[in-house]
Amino acid sequence: MKYCENILETIGHTPLVKLHRVSATLPCPVFAKVEFFNPGNSIKDRMALKMVEEAEKKGLLKPGGTIIEGTSGNTGMGLALAAVIKGYKCIFTTTDKQSKEKVDILKAVGAEVIVCPTNVEPEDPRSYYSVSKRLAQEIPNSFYVNQYDNLANRDAHYEQTGPEIWDQTDGKITHLVVATGTGGTITGIGKFLKEKNPNIQVWAIDSYGSLLKKYFETGEIDMNEVYPYITEGIGEDFIPQNYDMSVIDRFEKVTDKDGAVMARRITKEEGIFVGYSAGSAMAGLIQLKEHLKPTDLVVVIFHDHGSRYVGKVYNDQWMMERGFLDVKTVKDVVSSRRNQPLVSITADIKVSDVISKMRKYDIEHLPVFADGEMIGSVSESNLFNKLIDDVHLKDATVKQVMQAPFPIVSESTPIEKLSFYINKENGAVLTKDESGDYHIVTKYDVIQALGR
C-alpha cells in the first residue's frame, strides 16, 4: 500500500506548470510553482510545519500547548493543520483587511481568531503583532511562532522549495519571482538557488504602501512609504528578520488594482485558480519584461488558492466599488442618455393611446405604474401579436393586455449580466437612481453600450 500516515506528509513536491496566455508578451518561457497543491492550499504549510517541529525540538512547544501567531491567514492554516495532527490549540490574530474566507477557514480547523485593526503602527497595542505577543505572555504553556523573525521560516524554503525548483527546471532557471511579505520564501529559495548558480536573478514583488522596496534600495526605514493598501499577504511596514537582502537583486512595486486584475486573468486564461499575491507576482514580472531575453527561464511563485478571495478579488461588485474593473454598468447606460425621464403609463388608459405614445417617443417598452409602483409592462411586439389576433383590442385598457413588470436591477449591475434579465420574452429592465427616480434599459441600449 502507498499512503501517507497523516495529512502533514503531503506537504511539498508541488507541480511546476508552464504558463501560456498571461505570459504571451514575455520573450521567454515562464513557469508557475503552484503552491496551493499543499494541503492547506498555500506555500505557508511548508514553513508552518518547520517552525512547529523546530519549536518541539527546542522544548518551546510542549504537549497540550497553545500555538499563537499573527497571520494574514495562510500561515495560520498551516499551523492549524500541524496543531490538529499534533494535538495543540491555536489562537491567531489577523487584520480586518483579510478576506472573510480566510477567517472562516481558520475557525473551521478549530482555531480561535481575533481580528485586529489594520491601520495602526506595529507597536500599537491594538495591532495584530502586539496582540499576539501579549497573548503569548499571558497564556501558560503557549508558543508565539513569530513567522517574521523565526528563521525556521526561510530554512523550510532553503531545504524544500529551492531544491524542488532546481530539480524541476533541471537547473535551467534564470529568474525567480516572488511576491514577498515575511521574507522567508524569497530568502530561503533565493539562497539555495544562488548557491547553485550565483547568476540567477531573484526578483521581489512589493505593494504600494509597503516600505520594503525603499529599504532594499536605500537601507532606510521610511515610514512615509507606509499607507493602507488592499493587497493581502505581501508587503510590510517593518523589516522582518527573515530577510537577507543580499539574496535579492531587484524589488518592483505593483498596485492593488493590477494585482487583482492579473489574478483574475490567470484564473480565466490559464485555468489556475490563484490568490491575490500570485496576481501581484505575475503583474510585477510583466512590468519587468524589458529585463528578460529569449534564453531566460522564469519561475513565479503562486502562493495560494483563489477560494480565499471569492468575496473580494473574484467578486465583481467588490472590484467595481474600488475601480478595479473597467466594466460598463446600468448606471453608465442611464448616464449616457443624459438621464432622460422615464416614460410610463397607467393601467386604465386605452391600448390605442399606448400605441400613440410609443410613436411619439419612439419607444418599444413601457412600464405600467399605479401609486408609484410598477404593476406591469407593455411591449410593442406583444401588442402587435395581440392586435393581429384581435383588432378590437385597440379599444381595450392596458390592464387587459399588460404583461408582468420589468425586472428591477441595481445601477451597479454590469451590462454583461443583463442577459439574465433581457431576453426574448422580456425586452427591458428598470433601475432606480440615488434620487429614487426610475430609468429603463432596453435590449437596444445594451447593444449600443457594448458597441461603443
Q: Tell which residue, 318, 387, 319, 118, has the closest CA to residue 235.
A: 118
Q: Return the bridge partners of 208, or none.
A: 210
- pLDDT-derived band of residue 327, with 50, 70 and 90 as boundaries? low
User: For the chain, how many helices (H) and strands (E)?
Assistant: 16, 15
Q: Which tops the pLDDT comparison, 50 or 387?
A: 50
**Rounded CA gap, 357 and 364, in Å?**
10
Task: Report the b/e string of 17-45 with b at 16+ CB within 10 A.
Answer: bebeebbeebeebbbbbbbbbbbbbbbbb
Per the CB < 8 A criterion, the answer to whether 442 and 422 are in contact is yes
* Residue predicted with more confidence, 382 or 231: 231
State pLDDT tens for residues 64-81. 999 999 887 899 999 999
Q: According to the model, what pLDDT value does residue 24 have? A: 97
In Å, how far are 119, 233, 396 from 157, measured between CA atoms?
30, 17, 79
pLDDT > 90? residue 452: no
Please give the residue that has the higher pLDDT: either 444 or 173. Answer: 173
Cell numbers placing 214: 525603499
252-296 tens-digit pLDDT: 999 999 999 999 999 999 999 999 999 999 999 999 999 999 999
Calculate the average pLDDT of the chain. Answer: 92
Overall average pLDDT of the 335-362 stretch = 86
103 three-class SS: helix
Taking the C-alpha atoms of residue 356 and residue 361, their distance in angstroms, rounded to an integer, is 9
Average pLDDT value for residue range 29-43: 97
Q: What pLDDT sits at residue 388? A: 87
Q: What is the pLDDT of residue 22?
A: 98
Specify burial of residue 228 (Cβ count, 10 A radius: 0-12, 13-18, 19+). Answer: exposed
Measure Cα distances from 273 to 259, 262, 264, 278, 363 in Å.
Answer: 14, 11, 8, 10, 45
Residue 205 pLDDT > 70: yes
Catalytic residues: 44
Mean pLDDT check: name the lowest of 78-82, 182-186, 388-392.
388-392
Please give the model's pTM, rounded to 2 decimal places.
0.76
Tens of pLDDT, residues 408-431: 999 888 887 887 888 877 889 999
* Over residues 27-48, mean pLDDT: 98
pLDDT of residue 56: 97
- Taking residue 103's Cβ as centre, other Cβ atoms within 10 Å add up to 19
**How much is the pLDDT for 390?**
86
